[in-house]
Amino acid sequence: MDGLMTGKRECGAASLVLSETTAVPEHLRAGIRELSALVTEEDKRKQGYADALMHTVCYEADKNRIVLLITVKSAGEMSHAKLVKFYKKHGFQELPHKPDQPILMARQAHG
């Protein structure tokens, strides 16, 4: 697989998983990665680890012209609204969805 490699990424106390998506037709998958399981150790939150990790992953996605997708799932104190705001800060946009469906966000490669 060319471009942005899949697998677990870490930056300090934050980690996430990049994988090939099955949400799009097979012929489009090479240019898309799905981001999931973004977590920061509870006692290390609000110290910039998740921001630094997202910055690195977005930089690599831009360099390789890869679109990033994420399904927003609230967890603990992180509501959907807070998560959407966090991802928007990193260039993600909400895709159209029905109120009873999960929020899907995408980030186009920049540069």
pLDDT of the residue at 72: 92
Q: Percent of the chain, pLDDT > 90?
A: 66
C-alpha–C-alpha distance, residues 67 and 33, integer Å: 6
Nearest in space to 74 (alpha carbons), one of 35, 40, 102: 102
Query: Within a 10 A sphere around the Cβ of 71, how many other Cβ atoms?
Result: 14
Tell me if 110 sits within 8 A of 62, measured CB to CB: yes
11-34 b/e with 16+ CB inside 10 Å = b?
Answer: bebbbbebeebeeeeeeeeebbbb
Residues of the chain with pLDDT under 70: 1-2
